[in-house]
Amino acid sequence: MAVRHQLIRKPPAEVWSVLRDGSLYTRWVIGTDDSWNRDGRWPAEGSEIGYVVKFGPLEYRGRTVSRVFEPGHRLELESMGGKSGSVRIAITVQPWGEDTLVIVDEHPLSGPAARWHNSVLDAALQLRHRAMLSRLARVVESERHEGSDSGAGPGSYAEDGGPRVGA
């Protein structure tokens, strides 16, 4: 199991505005070349985002399903890797003073990756998470989330991750 944390110098509501926007996953999830909201409900439980991973001329299209969504606190995802199986990614968001502590916990659920799961795989995941959480912090801490469908006005979110009242 690979667990990593990152302190983000913004309040939890700003972290949630990025996590709730499936189109922004490309900007912070390592390895994705494109992402999109597949059903317009992201990140409600059972909703999906699609993604593309490219290896030179080869392209893989996958999907990630939201399995647990507790607005303002926790988002648990299952990334479907086709024949390689699936992976659980749990993201916990905690207030830390005026800032936010984000914790990511990832491990394989099914397929060869789950059968061959070992400390070497966990070490690789740690490196990936370090880069991924650093990217997430940069996206959240930027003034605007260019290319996002989040922001002020309708669809913006309160600090607890729920819809902002009166927006």
Alpha helices in the chain (DSSP H): 12-19, 25-28, 112-115, 119-141
Q: What is the pTM of this model?
A: 0.81
Give the position of tokens 């900007």. 27
- pLDDT number for residue 5: 94
3-state secondary structure of 99: strand
Q: Cα separation of 65 and 38, whole Å?
A: 10
- Going residue by residue through the chain (167 aa), what tens digit of pLDDT does each one get? 688 999 999 999 999 999 999 889 999 998 889 998 888 899 999 999 999 989 899 998 999 999 999 999 999 999 998 888 999 999 999 999 999 999 999 988 999 878 888 888 778 888 888 999 999 999 999 966 554 444 333 333 344 444 333 33
Q: How far is CA 11 from CA 4, 15, 57, 99, 135, in A?
A: 19, 7, 40, 5, 16
Domains in the chain: ranges and CATH: 2-141 (3.30.530.20)
Give the helix, strand, coil percentages of the chain, each rounded to 5: 25, 40, 35
